[in-house]
Amino acid sequence: MMSSTPLDEIPKLREALRDTFRKGVTRPLEWRKQQLIHLAKLVQENADAFAEALAADLGKPRLEAFAGEIGPVLERTLTCVEKLDEWSKPTQVEVPDWQKSWNPTIYKRSKGTVLIISPWNFPMILSLQPLYGAISAGCCAVIKVSEIAPSYGELLARLLPRYLDQSAYRVVLGGIPEVTKLLELQWDHIFYTGNGRIARVIATAAAKHLTPLTLELGGKSPVIVDGTFDIALAAKRMLWAKICIAPDFVLVLREKQEELAAALKVAYDSFYPNGALNSMGRIVSDAHHKRLKGLLARTQGEIVFGGCFDENRGFEPTIVKNVSEGDSLMEEEIFGPILPLLPVDSVEDAIEFISSRDHALVLYAFTDDEKTKRALVERTMSGNLVFNDVLQQISVNELPFGGVGESGYGRQVLKHSFENFVYDRPCVDIPKSAEPGLAVRYPPYTDDKVSFFMSTSLNTKIP
């Protein structure tokens, strides 16, 4: 069981970090680069320990730990070191000739002391990715790790002080009492990854202090299968994904449902020739395991394959066909290895179905029809849009990742992580030599002065 940070220590910890920020410790770019290098070393030198912690908490296979968490954090942290000068440099803006002597400039300025609340499903990348953004931005940060991933949390709390400046970066352990205490305090930004229900609690607490937020939420990410793309390949590509941005349900043309179901079974047999119960990670907790069993027990759809589970929180990948909109599997984000197939009569019906629901974090579509692609780009809303694969959008470092509406707001990955924790500070420096051009603003307001301002606006040609 994870230990907890004493509640009375949390305000003191926050105040110590605020004092560090006020003193300007985190301001120099070279200092930030050194902290980023130390963060990269933390990951690299303890990679095996992190993989073991993720296996202990989640049953996460070693390949998935390195491919989905350890590797990306290390690579992106080092990219931040390389790009920090470019991201942080002041920007000169283009202005009319009469304002050029004012030297209009936009500076990137750190927001201050920030709070990062990370989830259990990808505990490493979803805590350290916001952290490299905060470090790059020159912020101090507290990371509240999920109590449902105790091995990772304990490891990070033990290692972070050995690598990073403890006067600027700290880990808080615990559950509801600890996060409640954190949310009573004022922060200069809060970055939360999780579900919409808790996001509303956090947003309400943040509103008391007018604290800006980044919310990375989940939701039911749909897949459209119209039959124009190779269905066997589509099945293979969608079946391997088992994370929060994985397909949550599939809208498949009615005449293609049986073909897709059969292709998913072929892909399953090739992935898990000895069965999946002992080949996959565990469901994270008894409560989540019970929830998934309950959803499956109440479905009115037909189980194509899977549906088995064990007392060690194992759960087979399960495909359910002929699911309807009001089914138990459509009540909430499934967040587990169950994939419902919902037959539709047309792509138009699929678009209408998606448009009538909350905006997804990701919309996936397997189609080679350019007309369908254009329709999805123009007529649907989602945080991200991916054609003919799943999850690969998060491997493109140059693309922002985030939601819209119920799936959250704000963006992350590399520069976009940095941008969360800075604000644009415009600056002008108006010289004495500009005074003749400014004289018209001073009283007394003569007819000539009024005519000047009227002519500059009213004589503007409108297209």
Helix (H) or strand (E) holding 157: helix 150-163
Catalytic annotation on 139?
no
- Residue 24: which region, alpha, beta or left (left: phi > 0; alpha: psi -120 to 50)? left
- Dihedral sign of CA atoms 138, 144, 149, 155 in order: positive
What is the C-alpha separation between 360 and 158, in angstroms, rounded?
36
Structure-token match 């690969």, residue found: 392
* CB 256, CB 346: distance < 8 Å: no
Tell me which residue of 403, 244, 249 sits closest to 335, measured CA to CA: 244
DSSP H stretches of helix in 299-364? 347-355
Catalytic annotation on 75?
no
What is the C-alpha separation between 107 and 118, in angstroms, rounded?
29
* CB 371, CB 393: distance < 8 Å: no
- The amino acid occupying position 211 is T
**Which member of 80, 139, 140, 244 is catalytic?**
244
Please, which residues bridge with residue 109 across strands? 423
What is the C-alpha separation between 51 and 72, in angstroms, rounded?
13
Helix (H) or strand (E) holding 86: helix 71-88
**Which member of 64, 69, 178, 216 is catalytic?**
216
3-state SS, residue 141: strand
What is the C-alpha separation between 169 and 38, in angstroms, rounded?
12
* CB 124, CB 73: distance < 8 Å: yes
**Assigned token pair, 186:** 């004022």
Instruction: Work out the burial of residue 34: count CB atoms within 10 Å of its CB; fewer than 13 is exposed, 13-18 middle, 19 or more buried.
Output: middle
What is the C-alpha separation between 254 and 39, in angstroms, rounded?
50
What is the C-alpha separation between 62 and 54, in angstroms, rounded?
8
Beta-carbon contacts of 246 under 8 Å, excluding residues fewer than 6 positions away, are: 221, 390, 391
What is the C-alpha separation between 248 and 338, in angstroms, rounded?
8
- Dihedral sign of CA atoms 263, 269, 275, 277 in order: negative
Tell me which residue of 430, 444, 36, 64 sits closest to 280, measured CA to CA: 64
Overall residue count recorded for the chain in this entry: 463
**Assigned token pair, 64:** 């998935």
What is the C-alpha separation between 343 and 138, in angstroms, rounded?
50
**Assigned token pair, 83:** 């790009």
Q: Could you list the active site residues?
A: 216, 244
